[in-house]
A and B are shown apart, each in its own frame.
Chain A
Amino acid sequence: MPVFEPTAGTHEFDAVPGLREAWSRFIADAFESNLYGAKDSAHSLLLRWGYSDVDLRFYNPASMPIVAGSKPANVFWPALPTSYDGDFGGKKKKLYEYLDAPQKENGVRSRVQDEYCEWVVERDASGKAVRILFTCEPPEFYDFLYRDPYGVGKAKTRALLLSLYRDRCGTPDVALKELEAGKGSKRAYDPYNSWNAKHCVHMQQGANTLFAEINIVAIAGLLRRKGQKVLTDAQALIDCGRYGEPKRQSDPKIGATINQLARENRFFTLENPVGLYMTGLNTAGWSVAGHPELDPQSLWKVRKGTPDADPARSMIVRAELVSPPGLTLSDVLIGGVPIRYGAQVAEQIQMRVGVLVSEPQAQLPPPHAIGCRDANPPVPPPAAPAPGRGNR
């Protein structure tokens, strides 16, 4: 029985027997390596500080049953990045142009949208936006189909990969070799391939990955101290734990929330299906110029995943904003301002990551806190266990 469902709980993998199971193993392995891997895992950090896995509160539901009484909880953040806010002399137009376009970083051209949501704007001949595609599908999903790491049968998984691409790109023309890069034994799936670049098939910004999400939760789930003071501040925690990207909105907030759960001595794991989801588009105050009868929410089309009126349950991984019939997106007004950039729309999209959280474990001593800089050789643990914080 597979434990982990495919991202957004979709049925695309059903086309290939054994694929669901393989995906579940893939996710379970990602949990394991972040929790117990030899290097830089949560466990290896604890060992280096002289502690053991007794101090782990994050767990892999494939190897330990869900703790009784666990409840879902969420972290929300906006899809519009703020990492580049200060870089354009305060000029929003320049910032939005930058965010909308792929940029060359470390030798590759890639989208730089860094809040686990990426978008591509399609424009008409006059330059007006006509459609904006959004994805928060992780690259792992596609790379997994290309590599077939658990031997389900490459011919079948790659055929599925191609059919998914053809569906996303709306054309049968996609060829496998166009999705690859490198030569000989280095030949691999290329997340920067031209089809993905153009049709926003999945996320490609370097740190927008499922692995990153699991890593943040694993590492942020360790209590941290400076001297004897247990850290609680989001910035201090991310500076100390060095998980994720401190300049983002999501990573410091996810880290701080997770760390608080551990401080409260709760067990937690990621919501299944593991994913980063759009919860929806906030169209309150939107209108279509000259068409008061049109509900702008009707222009938001979910293409993969399931929307839910309750943002805590919404699981959208692919969606698009389409033009009203016979018009362009520049006729769609957000609080009276015409849409020119994808960034304006991203600002109205909310993201979430879900966790399952137990009650505080009164019968267990609170987890030990480790320091910030790696201890090597290991330092002996402090005499008294660090007190948990937060009122209960």
Chain B
Amino acid sequence: MEVRRVRREPILALRDLQGNILPGFRKDRQHFVFFRIEDASAARRWLASLADRISSGDEVLHAHRTWKASRMRLGREPDNAHFLFLNLALSAGGLAKLLTTAELDEFDDDAFKVGLAARSVYIGDPKTEGDPGHAASWKFGGPGKPVDLLAILASDDRPWVEEETASLVTAGDQHGLAHVHTDVGDVARSPSPGHEQFGFRDGISELAIRGRHPEPPHEFVVPRSIPKGKGFEEVRKQFATPSKRLVWPGNVLFGYPRQDPNDPTQGVATDFPAGPKWAANGSYLVYRRLRQDVEGFRRFLAETAASLQQSLGPDAPQPDKLAAMLVGRWPSGTPFIRSPGADAKIAGEAANYFGFDGPLGPPLPGDPAPPGAPDPNGRIVPLASHIRKSNPRDLGTDIGPATRTPPRLLVRRGITYADGEGPDADRGLLFVAYQSSIQNQFEFLMRTWINNPDRPEPQAGHDPILVQRPGGTALLRLAGTELRIPLPGGLVIPTGGEYFFAPSVSFFERRLRG
């Protein structure tokens, strides 16, 4: 087959793709409502009738613009410029009920077709039934608890999203669906808004989908703001803003070219995510309900810091610094590599302006903090730290040069949750990620990097945040020595989840109606 490449970024069908993929809901309150389809033809009719209510990328972009304009005008967050967004996604089991299996088979991704529970051990979850995190104990999505449909309702207006959830559940009930579970994501149910339960700012490093608006003058959907000056040429080619690395739409959306793994500035016009015709403008959605053991995390840090103290004396990091090393960022989001002594509070776009092989380019205007030294051996930021394991950035990896990494990354849309109060509350992260290949993206990161002690970097050890199996270790290169710290495993465990496909709006309008 002849391989063709393109450089001009394609027009994105913003009215057709769901808005949580692009630009993302970014709402404080998000309900994830899971259903099982009991009566396929009733469900099909009902879902088709919901087409008009699905919030497209275009609508969400407009809403964000309106909200921002209000904030500008008021000088504070508006309290009446609220929106309520709705998105829908179907699991393979759900699609099989609504369509033919032949159509489902056209999807290339085997992981999607067999579903998350069948892949659970493969991506690092416990294999023994009874162990915390095993699929048999999940609230939904595990054996005997299949889910077919996920509805995401999002708003900053809490009562509104609650009302809408209740009426959606009732309507589902009347149209052949059974409500299985609802997860309530709430940025307020966390140590502080925008921070996950261990206390670290999240949602800093993002993927920006390349592409243009459907209307003239066909501006870039994700605006570009890398300085024009000298020295920024390479950064400008690969980033929309310092926090947003550009990726060709085919690595997230069906129907578009994928990124050339050897040249991030081009797409491969002959390499598309494979699926049925109607899959265009859709995206796989990985959903994991991840419970975090906040107490356990603190204990692990205190114990490890104490034992490091014994071996290193005054060179040993205190628990808060150790935590920052293991995440790769300070709680504020400040990248550890740029601020290894203490948190220099690097905020905004600058918080993502760094590489592990040295600075990405000249300093950003208004970013006086030191750029960070090259750290290929992990003497500053441990090779096992969460952000190095999940994105080694400018360093080559076991799969080749650094250009191979962005096509493996995810559009992350997670939000914190907490059920109950106090130390025993069930709290964690509702992990939501979009991509066009679950096997090459989410699962690759989980199995090949996060849970493999020798990849992407030999000897690194396991991701201290995400490793579940006991017996893991992480390598620290500190004060001229090498140490391996034992990891408890299971600080983050899955308690539910499934692989979904978030189809286009027209799938509901036409394919389901058809």
Contacts and interface: CB of A to CB of B under 8 A. Distances in A.
Given A82-B400, A89-B272, A90-B108, A312 B375 contact: no
B510 to A, nearest CB: 23
B374 A232 contact: yes
A235 B402 contact: yes
A53 interface: no
Contacts of A234: 395-396, 400-402
Interface stretch (A11-19, A70-78, A203-211): A70-78
B418 to A, nearest CB: 30
B155 interface: no
A248 B401 CA distance: 9
A233 B455 contact: no
A86 interface: yes
Interface string B372-398: 011111011000000000000011111
Given A87-B3, A89-B272, A391-B377, A285 B399 contact: no
Interface stretch (B118-126, B192-200, B212-220): B118-126
Interface residues of B, number: 55
Interface size class of A (residues with CB under 8 A): 35 or more
A252 B373 CA distance: 23
A155 interface: no
Contacts of B377: 390-391
Contact of A235 (B111, B376, B403, B455): B403
A391 B375 CA distance: 6
A381 B261 CA distance: 35
Given A86-B258, A335-B122, A233 B458 contact: no
B358 interface: yes
A82 B402 contact: no
B428 interface: no
Interface string B402-418: 11100000000000000
Contact of A285 (B123, B273, B448): B123
B108 A92 contact: yes
Interface in A280-335: 282, 284-286, 311-312, 334-335
A365 interface: no
A373 B273 CA distance: 38
Interface in A83-98: 85-93
B206 interface: no
**Most chain B CB neighbours (cut-off 10 Å) among A76, A90, A253:** A90
A336 interface: yes
A278 B23 CA distance: 43
A235 B401 contact: yes
B111 A77 contact: no
A78 B358 contact: no
B454 interface: yes
A335 B118 contact: yes
Given A73-B458, A82-B399, A256-B401, A246 B262 contact: yes
A253 B396 contact: yes
A232 B273 CA distance: 33
Interface in A54-79: 73-78
Interface in A333-352: 334-337, 350
A189 B452 CA distance: 40
Contact of B270 (A89, A256, A282): A89
Contacts of A86: 3, 258, 260-261, 268, 270-271
A44 interface: no
Contacts of B261: 82, 85-86
B458 A249 contact: no
A231 to B, nearest CB: 11
Contacts of A265: none
B454 A389 contact: no
A238 interface: yes
Contact of A284 (B1, B122, B271, B374): B122
A284 B446 CA distance: 12
B114 interface: yes
A74 B401 CA distance: 17
B274 interface: yes
A336 B114 contact: yes
Given A235-B402, A256-B396, A391-B379, A336 B118 contact: yes
A260 interface: yes
B402 A391 contact: no
A234 B397 CA distance: 9
B398 A87 contact: no
A108 B510 CA distance: 50
A77 B258 contact: no
A247 interface: yes
Contacts of A284: 121-122, 124, 127, 447
B59 interface: no
B28 interface: no
Contact of A232 (B119, B250, B357): B357
A249 B455 contact: no
Interface string A364-392: 00000000000000000000000001111
A385 to B, nearest CB: 18
Contact of B262 (A75, A247, A335, A337): A247
A253 B399 CA distance: 7
Interface string B447-476: 110001011001100000000000000000
Contact of A91 (B108, B380, B400): B108
Interface in A251-294: 252-253, 256-257, 260, 282, 284-286
B52 interface: no
Contacts of A257: 396
Contacts of A247: 262
A252 B270 contact: no
Contacts of B448: 78
Given A235-B262, A285-B119, A336-B114, A78 B398 contact: yes
B5 to A, nearest CB: 9
Contact of A77 (B120, B380, B398): B398
B449 to A, nearest CB: 11
**Most chain A CB neighbours (cut-off 10 Å) among B271, B358, B401:** B401
A312 B398 CA distance: 14
A123 to B, nearest CB: 20
A391 B373 contact: yes
A87 B459 CA distance: 33
Interface in A226-252: 232-235, 238, 246-249, 252
B394 A233 contact: yes
A93 B458 contact: no
Contacts of A350: 454-455
Interface in B250-280: 250, 258, 260-262, 268, 270-274
B110 interface: yes
A73 B459 CA distance: 9
Nearest to A263: B376
A74 B457 CA distance: 10
Given A76-B458, A234-B396, 18 more contacts: A74-B458, A75-B398, A77-B399, A86-B258, A86-B268, A87-B1, A87-B270, A90-B274, A232-B374, A233-B394, A247-B262, A311-B454, A335-B114, A335-B118, A336-B122, A350-B454, A389-B374, A391-B380
Interface of B: 1, 3, 108-111, 114-115, 118-124, 127, 250, 258, 260-262, 268, 270-274, 357-358, 373-377, 379-380, 394-404, 439, 447-448, 452, 454-455, 458-459
28 contacts: A73-B458, A76-B458, A77-B398, A78-B398, A82-B399, A86-B268, A87-B3, A88-B1, A92-B108, A92-B109, A246-B401, A248-B400, A249-B400, A249-B404, A252-B400, A253-B399, A260-B376, A284-B124, A284-B127, A285-B121, A285-B123, A334-B122, A335-B111, A335-B122, A350-B454, A389-B358, A391-B375, A391-B380
The 4 closest A-B pairs by CB, nearest first: A285-B122, A234-B396, A336-B118, A335-B122
